[in-house]
Amino acid sequence: MRTPMIAGNWKMNKTPAQTKALIEDLKKMQNRCGAELVVCPMTVSLAAASEALKGSNIHLGAQNVHFADNGAYTGECNADSLKELGVEYVIIGHSERRQYFGETDVTVNQRSLKALEAGLKPIICVGESLEQKQQGITKEIVCMQTKVALLNVGAQIENVVIAYEPVWAIGTGLTASPEEANATIAAIRGAIREVFGAAADRVRILYGGSMNAKNAHDLMAQPEIDGGLIGGAALAAEKFDGVVNFN
């Protein structure tokens, strides 16, 4: 019912030349599981990625988009520019954006609405900190983040992807157990269902907490997990291949 998605968040890695080289390696991979593949390079590498991806079935994503059409927003990038480069998806609200650049639930919603207005598909990130996990309020946190992010999305909900990324698992090598991740993602889907009804069953929800070749199979076997937002394992073709071909 929901096509799996494996999306690589390259973060601040890979120059334009390195981006082209990695994509050429990725294009040689077998995609035996039939997942939709997305790569999300740095903004400065998007043009090189777009050119390198021509003729492939790999989709292009960006790591951020601003909520204004244009203006005095130094360092930001507007939706129209991303569209012109062939970008289809955009990551919004990643925990590193929240931690280092002041992203809030409100600005996540604003950026998501602008992305949808421009015809981009947002990959909206939600997740709890270690302290929140220890306090036992994971589900409350991620459900509230989800509901705020989706304010006024309306019928566009089916163009939204959610990524559950427990903050404590990003870049640490730690990961939620498959059952734990599945339960949290089920809660997120339940929150979407409260607002959007049956459309929630068509929204893809990814897991974004240190998914790699060793744990991808067990995570993807869970009924609520529709794919992965991959960090470190997306930066080398052989590692990414191990996640893409999770069966």
Indicate yes or no: pTM above 0.95.
yes
Asked if the model's pLDDT at residue 174 lies above 80, the reply is no
Asked if 203 and 224 count as a contact pair (C-beta separation under 8 A), the reply is no
* pLDDT tier, 173 (very low <50, low <70, confident <90, very high otherwise): confident
63 φ, ψ to 5°? Answer: -100, -5
User: CA angle 110-47-81, nearest 5°?
Assistant: 35
For position 108, what pLDDT does the model report?
98
Asked if the model's pLDDT at residue 163 lies above 80, the reply is yes
Asked if 85 and 64 count as a contact pair (C-beta separation under 8 A), the reply is no
Asked if 170 and 231 count as a contact pair (C-beta separation under 8 A), the reply is yes
* Catalytic site positions: 94, 165
The residue segments making up the domain with residue 91 are 5-244
As a whole number of angstroms, the distance between CA 168 and CA 180 comes to: 14
Asked if the model's pLDDT at residue 171 lies above 90, the reply is no
Q: What is the pLDDT of residues 195-239, one digit of tens each?
A: 999 999 999 999 998 899 999 999 999 999 999 999 999 999 999
**Residue located via tokens 């970008």:** 87
| Closest by Cα among 130, 70, 117, 53 to 90 | 117
CATH number at residue 47: 3.20.20.70
Q: Could you tell me the two tokens for 62?
A: 């960006």
Amino acid at 170: I
For position 172, what pLDDT does the model report?
76
Total domain count for the chain? 1
Q: What is the pLDDT of residues 82-140, one digit of tens each?
A: 999 999 999 999 999 999 999 999 999 999 999 999 999 999 999 999 899 999 999 99
Asked if 163 and 208 count as a contact pair (C-beta separation under 8 A), the reply is yes
The mean pLDDT of 6-20, rounded to a whole number, is 98
For position 183, what pLDDT does the model report?
97
Q: What is the pLDDT of residues 24-54, one digit of tens each?
A: 999 999 999 999 999 999 999 999 999 999 9
